[in-house]
Chain A
Amino acid sequence: MRLSDEMLLRVEKPGRYVGGELNAVIKDKEGKTRFGFCFPDVYEVGMSHLGLQMLYFFINRREDAWCERAFMPWPDMLSVLREADIPLYALESGDGIRELDILGFTLQYEMCYTNVLAMLELGGLALRAAERGEDDPIVCAGGPCTTNPEPMAEFIDFFYIGDGEASLDAVLDAYRDNKTRGGKKADFLSAISGIDGIYVPAFYDVKYNDDDTIANFVSNRHEVGSRVKRAFLPRLGYFPERFLVPLVEAVHNRVTLELARGCSRGCRFCQAGYIYRPLRERGIDELLAQAEALLAATGHEEISLLALSACDHSGFGELVDRLLAVTEPKKVNLSLPSTRLDASFLSAVEKTQRVRKSSLTVAPEAGSQRMRDVIKKNLTEEGILAGITQAFEADFNKIKLYFMAGLPGEEEGDVQAIGTLAEKVVEVYYKMPYEKRKKPVAVSVSTACFVPKAFTPFQWVGQVSPEAFETRQREVKAGIRKKQITYRYHDAKTAYVEGVLARGDRRVGAAIEAAYRAGAMFDGWSEHFNYYTWLAAFESAGIDPDFYTQRERGENELLPWDFIDMGVSKEFLRREYERAMKGETSPDCRTSCADCEVACHA
């Protein structure tokens, strides 16, 4: 630690910068591959992230490696570091991150990209991979945004695409072997370029057509194939026996169990539902053992259940019963995922006294049935209202309804239907007998702006413009008359920038750099996001944002992420898109296979 007490006391939350958490791993650095897990957001956000806990202990289980952590410093600490000329350091050793061997950024959302650049620069590294030398660490990136890595390609030495546990050992072995052999960075990168999930951008060239679409994307080296296959773990295995327990309050202070990876529902707007296919569940005995071990190792007073659709776990009812048997005597709170108001969830709620019975979240995603069919959100209005009625009867009185605006094929009526549905929820409450209405009902409606993502059936569609989003927000607002309903909406301008970053190509990297140079940071935080900085950055980088957001892509266009084999086939995604446009749904994988070609039953 190179910060004096005096420096630490100049910032708002010094506890973010001192390390020393329970279960933090301290090793002797001699002879270790030193890995820096870099989370491009504040400490409290990063420490609540299960992926960090998983990979931290996964890497540290190796005797030849030491994984440490670094987070994006909040602006107050940023000025302290810059003023004192102290580089961004790893929390475990206090060494500057430039002294480590590999820096691994996790890209959880596009709006953290400028923070990645900020952390590199704070660490004393050049932003562009090509400008870094043999003395600099290798910089890699993983996480869901690597499904379209191209906008960050210039800054990253290699991307890791897919399940972390699948290929990480092979990468670390290769690093160690290369170092023993006295190999250079380039030798290491070529050694790993054949491993599933590894994409080294420098080994590929992109050529563009006159209309700015991609003409071709080819490897410039013989030994590298033109396609990169995702790293894939057929069966979930490893799970940490301990979690780091932060000293300052994180967003979530709790044990998180990963019930499953993947989802069988295939909602067409949901990237996670496609890139993590097929559904892989953990067994109940395994989950229970993890719960007990982690409670003992952390002292947390809450457990949460994580999965894209946790209630879909094939043994959900039994799991909840058996978890409650563990948690109730320990006075531990079991936090149930509540976005799906179905029978299994409500019966679980009934069984737990320790669920705060006030607020419940439901995500119909679209207001009209027609739109719900387009996006394949398998919920009917009767189903939603019946579930909510049950929830009201079970003493809930606050309902949060989540929707998306700007969905493909959306018309005015579909937008108005959002308010109508919210009003019906209020009406359902007043249909209950008077003695059941003990507390006042409150319905909060929120609309997110739909941003089409890679590897979804909507990867070809044009995104709605910021002005059109704002019109829709006004329409929703106008449709809400009851005073029990409040309405919030996401910022349309943020969605516009996110759209460019989500489906951009390599040329977008210049705009990210320009935005960062002009002061953009913490773009995911509304108080820090500056739209005009970004518009100027697009302009200075010679980029037309509408080309990436509003343009409908042709069926045969080469998309920037087409070189990645994510399991699901492009033909399948196209079929789903065409079905969507006809308002047709398709089956849940649990009912019948829709042939996405991920070959889950091969």
Chain B
Amino acid sequence: MHKVRIQFSKDGALKFIGHLDFLRVFQQALRRSGLPVAYSQGFNPHILLSFALPLPLGMASLHDYADLTLAESTDMENARVRLQEYAPLGLTVLTIWEADGRSAAAVTEAADYILTVKEAEITTVRQAVHELLAAKEYIIAKKTKGGIKDTDIRSDIIDIKSNGNVVTMRLSAGSGRFLNPMTVAAILLGRDTAACEMIRAELFKKEGEILKPLY
């Protein structure tokens, strides 16, 4: 068994399908590609494929990660070219490498999001970023299983940079802590985020105290 990690980006029509649908679509591409994928044991074998972190519906990603188990070793660059050849429109396979150890899902702790704001909003957003970063705490009413609860989200905001109409937000994202980027966008924009343009740019793991991209 050979564990590999796939770095890819996702855009176009694929933005509009849910996590499970994307998993199926990715598995179909793997089956078409003829790569020597490994299957789970048991009655209903499936391809051993998992993603680092589901993307919200409607969001594209620049660097996304999946773990895949192969039944035999194979040349990584060949595998990448092959998978790309059979990939659906909107999926770009960037790199594949052998990656033993903890799964992408287990190590992911943070994510970068890029929010594009309208010209007219630049000043307000810059001000809001400033205030948010200066605050020691930021309490919002968060929906949890036990009802609505006041939660401090400040510690999950790792950094925010605004540069012209581009706002880059680094937020907690992973199976442990997760801050919804739309929540932050709503705070910055001071409005409903339905029509806001956001992509997920990168995922990070922790090495010591330092955040490093997953590749």
Contacts and interface: CB of A to CB of B under 8 A. Distances in A.
Contacts of A249: 20-21, 24
A17 B30 CA distance: 25
B54 interface: no
Interface string A73-91: 0000000000000000000
Interface string A157-188: 00000000000000000000000000000000
Interface in B175-209: 194-195, 197
Contacts of B58: 5, 8-9, 14
Contacts of B46: 301
Contact of B88 (A4, A14, A22, A295): A22
A489 to B, nearest CB: 32
Contacts of B32: 296-299
Contacts of A4: 195
Contact of A18 (B13, B24, B44): B13
B25 interface: yes
| Size bracket of the B interface | 20 to 34
A20 B86 CA distance: 14
Contact of A22 (B28, B194, B195, B197): B28
A316 to B, nearest CB: 25
| Size bracket of the A interface | 20 to 34
Interface in A1-43: 4-6, 8-10, 14-15, 17-22
B45 A247 contact: no
B29 interface: yes
Contacts of A8: 16, 58
A253 interface: yes
Interface string A470-503: 0000000000000000000000000000000000
Interface in B29-45: 29-32, 39, 43-45
A300 interface: yes
B45 A331 contact: yes
A356 B43 CA distance: 8
A326 B89 CA distance: 28
Interface in B87-135: 88-90
A248 B45 contact: no
B17 interface: yes
A15 B89 CA distance: 14
Given A253-B24, A330-B31, 17 more contacts: A5-B15, A6-B195, A8-B58, A14-B16, A15-B17, A15-B21, A18-B13, A20-B13, A21-B13, A22-B25, A22-B28, A245-B88, A295-B31, A298-B32, A299-B29, A300-B28, A331-B39
Interface of A: 4-6, 8-10, 14-15, 17-22, 245, 247-249, 253, 295-301, 330-331, 333, 356
10 contacts: A9-B194, A14-B16, A19-B13, A245-B88, A247-B17, A249-B24, A253-B24, A299-B31, A301-B27, A331-B39
Interface of B: 12-18, 20-21, 24-25, 27-32, 39, 43-46, 57-58, 86, 88-90, 194-195, 197
Give 9 nearest A-B pairs by CB, closest first: A20-B13, A299-B28, A299-B31, A14-B16, A299-B32, A6-B195, A15-B17, A18-B13, A9-B58
